[in-house]
Structure 1
Amino acid sequence: MQAPQYHIIAAAIEYILEHFLEQPNLETVAAQVHVSPFHLQRMFTEWAGISPKRFLQYITADYLKQKLQHTPNLQEAASIAGLSAQSRVYDLFVTLEAVTPQQFRTGGESVIIRYGYHNTPFGPAFLAATVKGIVSLGFLEPGQEAQVLAKLHKDWPQAQMVVDDPFTAHLVRQIFSAQRGEKLHVLVKGTNFQVKVWEALLRLPLGSVVTYAKIAEYIGHPKAVRAVGAAVGANPVALLIPCHRVIRKEGVLGEYHWGATRKKLLLGYEMSRADSEEHPLL
């Protein structure tokens, strides 16, 4: 999917959320995003597999609170998903490795990082990777290309940066493919605490949500809820390390580094896919 289609879908969902009490019909929403009702319905259904109205159900606070009750802890959630042939747990497809202490201290000295910019079903994205794994994946708003590259230089000051769209395009196709042929590897640069949080996030099954407090309990630091929040916010690899699945206990989605609207769409998309028979990747 091209980026403009994503932005039309995002704008439609935002309008519905803002005008929920008015119960806008398809014609009204389509007029707001400047497409025909037929085109919006078809575009949205092709993207999410369900109608906009049905999609909205998945991202309401009441529904999310129900989801939290159904997955009371990460261990149980991962076990349930692992026992189901139709469910997918991210760590079946993603392996996480932390950089060596030497690489951490030297800022990636002797490391070659290849990067590129690509369209995805969730808008334009920036991806950077070494031969050992993906080090950065983030979604972009218009004009942010230089900003994300500068952030990569800051995180890996001594690494050699090489623009290589063919190399990163192959990884993007794997990430957003319905059928992965091989595991994806993630190489992260963080503190021991951050890495523990990111590893815990990999245990979250498709279509599930969890609170910051549950993450803190799972990693053995039940009082470190704020620190968990900071680690979630510092996640350098969107989607593959699914920090978008962490929400507040009230069912409120909370902040997201790559935008609140994108978090709603990621969660709604995943929940609709988890409820479908096909169970594609996301």
Structure 2
Amino acid sequence: MGTDAWSAALVAERLLQAEDRATAQTSIKAEWESLDLATAYAAQDIALGIRVARGEKVTGVKLGVTSKAKQRQVGVDAPSTAWLTDRMILPIGETVPRDRLIHARAEPEIAFVMGRRLEGPGISAATALAAVDHVVGAIEIIDSRFSGYKFSMMDAVADNNSSGRYVTGPISRRPEDLDLALEACLLEVDGEIVDSATGAAVHGHPAEALAFAANTLAERGHAMEAGWVVLTGGMTDAVPVEPGARIAAHFTNLGTITVAGGR
């Protein structure tokens, strides 16, 4: 496709089509070198409008690339934000619908449930945390629409930060009752502990990630609403969700969340 034919709207359409059909495609950045972060976010917002128009409800926000290690890996110095909708909710006990995903991977996260509206700019971590009603553990099932899981940062942002499904745990805590930087998680796959991390891996502190999201969204005219879920970013590397696999995230104070891979 010629570069003149590309637009944010076309990027949004292509990626939603790939998601709906569970069919991978090549990197858009590789085809359209002019794709930048501003255009990628515009595509993300256009796609959200399409999702809402077809009946999806916005349920929150997700952050990506919140760890310094991952930022160095992809060549950026800040996280990215994306959208959650009710289509992405995986109820507790349901298997991961691998047949509707391309290459599902799971990562444990600390999630906030907002108690009131949070709108930037100028939001500090303390201000952000004061807007939180409660904290829960979560497992996010990420699913890039790009072949071989190979993509640029611009591709990932346009692709809604590789959104797939997410499940939140049944145990909640008030934020003031936790040391979120030290809240630990063990990631288990089929009975074996494969990784571990604390909340400090998430942009230094999950509340810092929340403040970043509020301020970044404000630049595009958005705010976070009461009741929304905010996934603050993967604490560990993501692991593949294989057929029949059992993946569990064991948090210090937020309980255990388990998902299983469908056949």
- TM-score computed with the length of structure 2 as normaliser: 0.24
Greater RCO, 1 or 2 (C-alpha within 8 Å, sep 6+): 2
More strand by share: 2
**Greater gyration radius:** 1
More helix by share: 1
- TM-score computed with the length of structure 1 as normaliser: 0.23
